[in-house]
Amino acid sequence: MSSVLEATPPRFTADEAARIAAELFGIQGRASDLGSERDQTFLLDDGGAGGVLKISNSGEAADVLDFEEAAIAHVAAVDPDLPVARPLAPRASVDGHHVRLFERRVGRKGGPELSDAAVYGVAAAQAHLCLALRSFFHPAAGRDLLWDVRAAPRLRPLLDEIADPGRRALLARALDRFEERVLPDWPRLRAQVVHGDFNLDNLLLDEQDEVAGILDFGDCCHTALAADVAVALASLLRGRPLDDAFRVARIALDGFASRLPLEPLERELLGDLVAARLAAIVSISAWRTRRFPENAAYIEAWDEDSWQLLELLDSLAPEEVAHELGAGRRAPAPSRELARRRDRALGALLTPLTYARPVHAVHAEGVWIHEPDGTRLLDAYNNVPVVGHCHPRLTEAVVRQTRLGATNARYLAEPLVELAERLLATFPPGAGLDTVLLVNSGSEANDLAWRIAAEVTGHDGALVTENAYHGVTATATALSPEDWPAGRPFARVTRIPAPGSGANLDRALDAAVAELEDGLAATFLDGSLMSDGIYTPESPELRLLVERTHAAGGLYVADEVQAGHGRLGPELWSFVRHGLAPDVVTLGKPMGNGYPVAAVVTRSDLAGRFPYAGRTFSTFGGNPVAASAALAVLDVLRDERLPERAAGVGMRLRSAIESLGMPDIVEVRGSGLLAGVQLSSADLASRIADDLREQGVLVGLTGKQDDVLKIRPPLAFTDEHADLLVSALARALT
């Protein structure tokens, strides 16, 4: 047991305290006992500023007091706005006790009546203080103090002080949880010097319930940051209705995170840390009350409320408590149960789950997706996380801007403007593409591209490839034969064979344009021809398509939603390699690496003729968070040279698949890091995709007959990953 808790507290009267203050510090006036657990604290009223006299326990070591005073001085120097009570004079000594004079802070104590705003503010002030202390250290910071949450296992000898056997068992369970869940991970928790006793008894609030005084650094120590948060939470929750405890706790954690976000592990263990703090309160209280019964009223002030909170935490599984405090669920729902819930809640409108045994994704990183049982799947399917799942620069960009704010495009925001300028700089100078409008998805981008084309040309017809996909809005679905109901083609939309498929495009274009009674407004072409089966057209074919489109009075829309951002080669945009000059370019999918953001890029002369120019608006389109995500994608693509590297990986991948020489492989197509492997039948393709999933490799299906394996991994894919894929494919085909 720490000597400071074993030693008898000082027992000076108020008159003696007034005399000490006068003799040592020259303050003449009345002294009032403020109460304390192991020290004595007196308010000095001299008719002026007064002060606070603190007489320390005889067990308090001088180096610990040096540490405490140095911490206060550090906070005052680093962040003068923090209202810490500072020492006013050098430390003195009386009858073996250290005596100090602190400045008097004016305010009132708070309790369970505090409003949500006050709770939020108290927690934010704690984070503010932690930030000020994080660069501070002192040789005595590792002091041995039973109040430090990390000392929870040392509370076991005190359990005998608890008379009620039920409560004794309750404390034992709390300590068991701490030893089982917290101790193994304690070395991984962030640690620093903290206040150590940031509770409402050590705070003063002003008339607006804002923190006006931070008192008593007597429990200051070096420990886990989350342990200090637990101390404050225990104080903020005591005395409140139990059915409101977790709600108030979340308000407090919001306040703390507004200045200093908590890490996932801290959130996960926070409930156990709060329980350990409460266990310390009631067990130390029982032990000290027996030793010092004259101070029982002060020592036991919060005992009953602490017991009630302990019972609440004990009534729930640790994972439930962690979830209530904002942690992600450690144990995901069973996959079959989750699938049944999905069917019930989402119904028949949503596309079915992929694969015979659906993927249950709980975490992803780079080119890997992890399932609940720890299985990791090589992602060769998802083109949205273009720079890799959960890339740290993307994550940080989104979080950083989220903390700064997310408004809309009617306000000035630098990320939106910078993104538009950065995008325009990536297009060929002679293309004339000089106007950007940010939206939320590729579907919206293509919908807007159609509106521009129809309004500017006055025509009402569209050309798309035979099995194209351009989105899910009403207009984009009309432009997407892949999603047309069987036997129900949309009026005003005519199909042409996919360039690169070997069909006579010249003749097909003549026939298609002739079908459009109201004239051609636009030709839409997905540069990857993904849904058509992944073809690689020759440049003359595409130039012919652009020429015929313009000759018919239409606009050429380069749909780069799937082909762009370096998917098809070293160039960011697939149309560039063919020397095309599109009238409109649409971007989406990988643009935000999973964060919703898309764009329409066009010429100012077309934008100016659009009747809705100046009135086109998207609530979330171009918001600073989305724009920041898209900027980070461009940065990573550039810095890691992903398009250039991925093109080499893709070429090697396709060559390796061709070299398998399997009779069921009809053709291998693609460009950049995109491969379409046409198999001998749709049934075989489906079975191979499921077999690969069971081997831990994810691919998709595409083509009009769904007989093409679609391989389009994040551009972070390497030769090593390609080798894993090819080996798995060889086993599946064999």
pLDDT digits (tens, 9 = 90+) for 165-179: 999 999 999 999 999
Looking at residue 230, its pLDDT comes to 98
Supply φ then ψ for residue 691, to 5 degrees.
-65, -45
pLDDT band at 518 (very low <50, low <70, confident <90, very high): confident
pLDDT > 90? residue 431: no
Looking at residue 274, its pLDDT comes to 98
Cα torsion 559, 561, 562, 565 to 10°: value is: 110
Report DSSP letters for 365-426, one per residue.
EBTEEE-TTS-EEEE-S--SSTT-BT-HHHHHHHHHHHHH----TTS--HHHHHHHHHHHHT
Question: Among 253-267, 295-309, 502-516, which stretch is predicted with the lowest mean pLDDT?
Answer: 295-309
Q: What average pLDDT does range 662-673 have in this prediction?
A: 97
Strand segments (E) across 166-273: 191-194, 203-205, 211-214, 221-224
Looking at residue 293, its pLDDT comes to 67
Q: What average pLDDT does range 545-562 have in this prediction?
A: 97
pLDDT > 50? residue 210: yes
pLDDT band at 222 (very low <50, low <70, confident <90, very high): very high
Token code pair at residue 82:
């923090």
H helix runs in 503-623, sequence order: 505-515, 539-551, 604-609
Q: What average pLDDT does range 342-353 have in this prediction?
A: 89
d(CA 406, CA 625): 6
Q: Do residues 319 and 329 make contact, with C-beta atoms less than 8 angstroms apart?
A: yes
**Residue 339 neighbours by CB under 8 Å, 6+ apart:** 353, 358
Q: What average pLDDT does range 690-714 have in this prediction?
A: 97
Q: Do residues 191 and 222 make contact, with C-beta atoms less than 8 angstroms apart?
A: yes
Q: What average pLDDT does range 674-702 have in this prediction?
A: 98
pLDDT digits (tens, 9 = 90+) for 374-403: 999 999 999 999 999 999 999 999 999 999
Looking at residue 185, its pLDDT comes to 97
Q: What average pLDDT does range 710-731 have in this prediction?
A: 98
Burial class of residue 357 (count of CB atoms within 10 Å of its CB; 0-12, 13-18, 19+) = exposed
Supply φ then ψ for residue 177, to 5 degrees.
-60, -45
Q: What percent of the chain has pLDDT over 70?
A: 97
CATH of domain 116-289+300-324: 3.90.1200.10
**Residue 401 neighbours by CB under 8 Å, 6+ apart:** 415, 624, 625, 627, 628
d(CA 691, CA 357): 10
**Residue 446 neighbours by CB under 8 Å, 6+ apart:** 470, 471, 473, 475, 476, 479, 524, 557, 559, 561, 586
Q: Do residues 92 and 26 make contact, with C-beta atoms less than 8 angstroms apart?
A: no
Cα dist. 223→177, 188, 193, 229, 637 in Å? 19, 12, 6, 11, 40
The mean pLDDT value of the chain amounts to 93
Q: Do residues 53 and 99 make contact, with C-beta atoms less than 8 angstroms apart?
A: yes
Question: Among 301-310, 623-632, 636-645, which stretch is predicted with the lowest mean pLDDT?
Answer: 301-310
Token code pair at residue 555:
């606009």
pLDDT > 70? residue 4: no
Buried/exposed code over 386-408 (b: 16+ C-beta within 10 A; e: otherwise)? bbbbebebbeebbeebeeeebee
Strand-pairing partners, residue 555, are: 522
Looking at residue 486, its pLDDT comes to 73
Per the listing, tokens 């935000």 go with 592
pLDDT band at 3 (very low <50, low <70, confident <90, very high): low
Burial class of residue 591 (count of CB atoms within 10 Å of its CB; 0-12, 13-18, 19+) = buried
pLDDT band at 552 (very low <50, low <70, confident <90, very high): very high
**Residue 512 neighbours by CB under 8 Å, 6+ apart:** 463, 494, 495, 496
Q: What average pLDDT does range 103-128 have in this prediction?
A: 95
Total Cβ atoms within 10 A of residue 517: 9
For residue 503, the Cα-to-chain-centroid distance in whole angstroms is 48
Q: What average pLDDT does range 714-721 have in this prediction?
A: 97
Q: What average pLDDT does range 349-359 have in this prediction?
A: 91
Cα distance between the two ends of the chain: 69
Q: What average pLDDT does range 489-501 have in this prediction?
A: 90
pLDDT > 90? residue 488: no
d(CA 278, CA 171): 9
d(CA 550, CA 555): 6
Report DSSP letters for 68-133, one per residue.
HHHHHHHHHHH-TTS-BPPB-S--EEETTEEEEEE-----B---TT--HHHHHHHHHHHHHHHHHH
Looking at residue 487, its pLDDT comes to 61
Looking at residue 1, its pLDDT comes to 43
Q: Do residues 77 and 60 make contact, with C-beta atoms less than 8 angstroms apart?
A: no
Q: What average pLDDT does range 317-325 have in this prediction?
A: 94
Burial class of residue 682 (count of CB atoms within 10 Å of its CB; 0-12, 13-18, 19+) = middle
Per the listing, tokens 């894929």 go with 725
* Domain 3-102, CATH class in plain words: alpha beta
Q: Which CATH number is correct for 335-387+642-734, 3.90.1150.10, 3.30.300.30, 3.30.1330.10, 3.50.50.60?
A: 3.90.1150.10
**CATH architecture of residue range(s) 429-618:** 3-Layer(aba) Sandwich (3.40)
pLDDT digits (tens, 9 = 90+) for 34-79: 887 778 899 999 888 889 999 988 888 899 999 999 999 999 999 9
Cα torsion 21, 22, 28, 34 to 10°: value is: 20
pLDDT > 80? residue 304: yes
Q: What is the identity of the amino acid at 106?
A: V
pLDDT > 90? residue 485: no
Q: Which of helix, strand or coil describes residue 221?
A: strand
Looking at residue 7, its pLDDT comes to 73
d(CA 124, CA 468): 52
Strand segments (E) across 418-460: 435-439
pLDDT > 60? residue 501: yes
d(CA 582, CA 549): 10
Q: Do residues 202 and 216 make contact, with C-beta atoms less than 8 angstroms apart?
A: yes
Question: Model's pTM, two decimal places?
Answer: 0.86
Supply φ then ψ for residue 234, to 5 degrees.
-55, -40
Cα dist. 486→397, 452, 481, 700 in Å? 44, 29, 10, 22
- Range(s) within the chain of domains with CATH label 3.40.640.10: 429-618
d(CA 481, CA 582): 22
- Range(s) within the chain of domains with CATH label 3.90.1150.10: 335-387+642-734
- Range(s) within the chain of domains with CATH label 3.90.1200.10: 116-289+300-324
